[in-house]
Amino acid sequence: MKLTMLGTGRAVVTECYNTCFVLHEEGRYFLVDGGGGIGLLSRLKSAGIEWNRIRDMFVTHRHMDHIMGILWMIRMICQASKRGEYEGEARIYGHEEVIQILREVSCMLLAEKENRFIGKSVKLIPVKDREEREIIGHRVCFFDIQSTKAKQFGFTMDLRENDRLTCCGDEPYNDSEKEYVQGSRWLLHEAFCLARDTECFHPYEKHHSTVKDACEQAEKLGIRNLVLYHTEDTDMVNRKQRYTEEGKLYFSGNLYVPDDLETICLDTGDFDTDNLEKGESNPDGIRTEENREDDAAMGEKEQQRLEAFEKMLQNIQKEHDSIQRQMEDLKDKGKTKSATYRQLMGRKMTYQSMISMYEVYGLL
Query: Does residue 170 interact with Zn ion by CB under 5 A?
Result: yes
**Least distance (Å) from Zn ion to the CB of residue 242?**
21
Choose between 170 and 232: whose C-beta lies nearer to Zn ion.
Answer: 170
Q: Using CB atoms within 10 A of its CB, is residue 315 exposed (0-12), middle (13-18) or buried (19+)? A: exposed
**Least distance (Å) from Zn ion to the CB of residue 109?**
22
DSSP reduced 3-state for 263:
strand
Q: Which stretch binds Zn ion (CB under 5 A): 59-67, 83-91, 126-134, 334-342?
A: 59-67
DSSP reduced 3-state for 158:
strand
> Using CB under 5 A, which of 9, 22, 43, 65 touches Zn ion?
65
Q: Are strands 90-94 and 122-126 parallel, antiparallel or unpaired?
A: parallel
Q: Tell me, by CB under 5 A, how many residues bind Zn ion.
A: 3
CA nearest to 4, candidates 18, 22, 26, 19: 22
Work out the number of other CB atoms within 10 angstroms of the CB of residue 307: 10
**Least distance (Å) from Zn ion to the CB of residue 240?**
20
Q: Which residues contact 182 (CB under 8 A, 6 or more apart)?
A: 221, 222
Q: Which stretch binds Zn ion (CB under 5 A): 62-70, 93-101, 285-293, 336-344?
A: 62-70
CA nearest to 58, candidates 112, 120, 115, 138: 138
**Least distance (Å) from Zn ion to the CB of residue 43?**
16
**Least distance (Å) from Zn ion to the CB of residue 9?**
9
Query: Does residue 33 interact with Zn ion by CB under 5 A?
Result: no
Query: How far apart are the C-alpha atoms of 319 and 215, rounded to whole Å?
Result: 58
- 314, 316, 321, 326: CA torsion to nearest 10: 140
Stretch 278-317: interaction string toward Zn ion, x if CB under 5 A: ----------------------------------------
DSSP reduced 3-state for 148:
coil
Query: How far apart are the C-alpha atoms of 360 and 364, rounded to whole Å?
Result: 8
Q: How many residues does the chain have?
A: 364
Q: Which stretch binds Zn ion (CB under 5 A): 3-11, 46-54, 172-180, 200-208?
A: 3-11
DSSP reduced 3-state for 106:
helix
Choose between 34 and 253: whose C-beta lies nearer to Zn ion.
Answer: 34
Q: Which stretch binds Zn ion (CB under 5 A): 11-19, 127-135, 210-218, 291-299?
A: 11-19
| Nearest residue to the partner Zn ion, using Cβ | 170
Query: Does residue 232 interact with Zn ion by CB under 5 A?
Result: no
Q: Which stretch binds Zn ion (CB under 5 A): 47-55, 60-68, 106-114, 342-350?
A: 60-68
- Interface residues with Zn ion (CB under 5 A) are 11, 65, 170
